[in-house]
């Protein structure tokens, strides 16, 4: 079995505790800004809707993320569990980034995730809105990479 096909715990059916763990693992991977690493959490034929873009498969996911992080600079993300049942998890998130002109944004969104029995995401549906912010209004100021454990989450920040 290929390493990418190995089970990726926690596995469904999810409890609030295991879904929260899954959400943090996803947040950590996305904050790595490594398209290859992130894509391994998805099935080889994973289906995505991201805003108005539709993707299928890991290669398309990697290409999408490579484009995304070339445009969304100094990307920092926080995800939070909204709800879970069986093999599905609903997440809300917000991330901060700037474009190549130095204009800052906070992007807010919701995701619906569906997992296979191995804990790989087989479907991701994301709705996202971008809000221009002043650099002084940024709330995510940790060094690039994983959000520190003691950094407030979305609810703590009033987001």
Q: Is the pLDDT of residue 4 over 90?
A: no
Share of the chain above pLDDT 70, in %: 97
Q: Is the pLDDT of residue 25 over 80?
A: yes
CB 121 within 8 A of CB 115: yes
Q: Is the pLDDT of residue 124 over 70?
A: yes
Q: Is the pLDDT of residue 1 over 70?
A: no
Residue 19: domain span: 8-137
Q: Is residue 47 part of a domain?
A: yes
Q: Is residue 27 part of a domain?
A: yes
For residue 111, what pLDDT is reported? 98
Q: Is residue 156 part of a domain?
A: no
Q: Is residue 147 part of a domain?
A: no
Would you give the end-to-end CA distance of the chain in angstroms?
41
Q: Is the pLDDT of residue 20 over 80?
A: yes
Convert 50-72 into a string of H (helix), E (strand) and C (coil).
Answer: ECCEEEECHHHHHHHHHHHHHHC
Q: Is residue 155 part of a domain?
A: no
Q: Is residue 48 part of a domain?
A: yes
For residue 5, what pLDDT is reported? 76
Total domains in the fold of the chain: 1
> Domain containing 88 — which CATH number?
3.10.450.50
Q: Is residue 89 part of a domain?
A: yes
Q: Is the pLDDT of residue 2 over 80?
A: no
Q: Is residue 128 part of a domain?
A: yes
- pLDDT mean across residues, the chain: 96
Q: What is the pLDDT of residues 52-105, one digit of tens each?
A: 999 999 999 999 999 999 999 999 999 999 999 999 999 999 999 999 999 999
Q: What is the pTM of this model?
A: 0.96
């Amino acid at each position: 079995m290929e390493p990418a096909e190995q089970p990726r715990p926690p596995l469904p059916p999810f409890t609030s505790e295991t879904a929260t763990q899954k959400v943090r693992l996803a947040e950590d991977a996305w904050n790595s800004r490594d398209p290859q690493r992130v894509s391994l959490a998805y099935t080889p034929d994973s289906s995505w809707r991201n805003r108005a873009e539709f993707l299928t498969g890991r290669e398309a996911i990697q290409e999408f993320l490579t484009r995304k992080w070339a445009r969304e600079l100094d990307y920092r993300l926080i995800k939070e569990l909204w709800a879970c049942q069986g093999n599905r998890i609903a997440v809300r998130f917000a991330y901060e980034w700037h474009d190549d002109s130095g204009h800052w944004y906070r992007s807010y969104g919701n995701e619906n995730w569906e997992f296979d029995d191995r804990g790989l995401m087989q479907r991701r549906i994301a709705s996202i809105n971008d809000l221009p912010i002043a650099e002084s209004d940024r709330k995510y100021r940790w060094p690039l990479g994983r959000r520190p454990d003691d950094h407030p989450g979305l609810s703590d920040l009033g987001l």
